[in-house]
Structure 1
Amino acid sequence: MSTPAPDAAALLHELLLRGLWSTVIDEDAPEALQRHGGAVARMLAAGVDPHDLVDVIREAQVDTIYNVAQLIDWPDEHVAPDDACEVRLAASLAGATAQPLPELHSCLMERDPSGRAGEPRSPELRQYAMLDAGVRAQIKALAGARKFPAAALLWKRHAGGDLAAALAAVKQLAIRAG
Structure 2
Amino acid sequence: MSTPAPEAAALLHELLLRGLWSTVIDEAAPDALPRHGGAVARLLAAGVDPHDLVDVIREAQVDTIYNVAQLIDWPDEHLAPDDACEVRLAASLAGAAPQPLSELHSCLMARDPSGRAGEPRSPEQRQYAMLDAGVRAQIAALSGARKWSAAAVLWKRHAGGDLKAALAAVQRLAVRAG
TM-score relative to the length of structure 2: 0.95
Q: Write out per-residue CA displacement over residues 2-41 of structure 1, whole angstroms, 9 at most, x where no aligned residue.
A: 5433111111101111110111011111111021211000
Query: Which residue number in structure 1 is paired with residue 56 of structure 2?
Result: 56
Q: One-letter code of the match for 2:72? A: I
CA distance in 1, matches of 2:172, 2:56: 22
2:140 equivalent to 1:143: no
CA distance in 2, matches of 1:7, 1:172: 42
Q: One-letter code of the match for 2:130? A: M
Q: Write out per-residue CA displacement over residues 39-89 of structure 1, whole angstroms, 9 at most, x where no aligned residue.
A: 000100110000000000000000000000000000000011222100000
SS at structure 2 position matched to 1:82: coil
CA distance in 2, matches of 1:34, 1:140: 31
Aligned-residue RMSD, C-alpha: 1.3
Alignment of 1:110-121 (within 5 A): 110-121=110-121
SS at structure 2 position matched to 1:81: coil
Unaligned runs of 5+ in 1: none
Alignment of 1:18-33 (within 5 A): 18-33=18-33
Q: Point out the more displaced range, 138-147 or 93-102.
A: 138-147
CA distance in 1, matches of 2:2, 2:114: 39
Query: Which residue number in structure 1 is paired with residue 45 of structure 2?
Result: 45
CA distance in 1, matches of 2:159, 2:140: 14
Unaligned runs of 5+ in 2: none
TM-score relative to the length of structure 1: 0.95
Q: One-letter code of the match for 2:15? A: L
CA distance in 2, matches of 1:118, 1:172: 18
Query: Which residue number in structure 2 is paired with residue 101 of structure 1?
Result: 101
Number of corresponding residues: 178
Identity %: 89
2:106 equivalent to 1:131: no
Query: Which residue number in structure 2 is paired with residue 89 of structure 1?
Result: 89
SS at structure 2 position matched to 1:32: helix
SS at structure 2 position matched to 1:87: coil
